[in-house]
Structure formats: structure tokens, C-alpha cells
Amino acid sequence: MKKADIETAPCSECGGRLEKKYISQEFEREGLKVKLLGIAALVCSKCREIYFQPGGADKVAEAANSLFRLAQAEKQHKHGLTAQLCRA
Ligand SMILES: [Zn+2]
């Protein structure tokens, strides 16, 4: 997971073109698993490296942290928690 400074910058790994995609990310911590779906990110069309807008990776991590707290509070250990981002 890397950060891209500008949307039109090529992939820093292979120089490939970055495409805007909606991705899903899974996080696992202390036996709990949470999943975020529909995160807007830039994905290299060649090597599939994932780039977020500046600050975007931090926000995704924050969202995952919130989900972990929810999962612990609601004792949803046995299920795993999924959050989906939707456009209104
Ligand atoms: Zn690449």
C-alpha cells in the first residue's frame, strides 16, 4: 500500500498507469476480522499496487480501528464485521 501525490502520477513500482477503482480491504487483529468495501483508490493497471489519495490510507486505517472497536463492543467475534461505502 503506497501513497500517490497526484492522481495522474504513474506507478512508482513499475511505471504503469493508475486507474481509479473501488476496492475492498480486510483487516485482522486479535482474531477479529473486519472488511471495508467500496473504498475509492488508485490501482496500477499492471502490478495491482494500491495507492490512496494523500491522507486516504490514514482514514481507511481509522475506519478499520472504529470497526474493531465496534466488533469488540458488540462481541461480534464469531462473525466478522463488514462495512460498505455507498454513494448516495
Ligand atoms: Zn505498477
Q: How many domains does the chain have?
A: 1
CATH code of the domain containing 50: 3.10.20.860
- 43 alpha carbon to ligand 1 midpoint, in Å? 8
- 51 alpha carbon to ligand 1 midpoint, in Å? 10
Are the C-beta atoms of residues 71 and 86 closer than 8 Å to each other?
no
Name the residue range of residue 41's domain.
Answer: 2-84
Cα separation of 64 and 28, whole Å?
A: 9
Read out DSSP for the chain? -EE-SSTTPPPTTT-PPEEEEEEEEEEEETTEEEEEEEEEEEEETTT--EEE-TTHHHHHHHHHHHHHHHHHHTT-TTT-EEEE----
- 57 alpha carbon to ligand 1 midpoint, in Å? 18
pTM for the model: 0.70
- 76 alpha carbon to ligand 1 midpoint, in Å? 37
Output the pLDDT for position 12. Answer: 93
Each residue's pLDDT tens digit, 22-71: 999 999 988 888 899 999 899 999 999 999 988 889 999 999 999 888 88
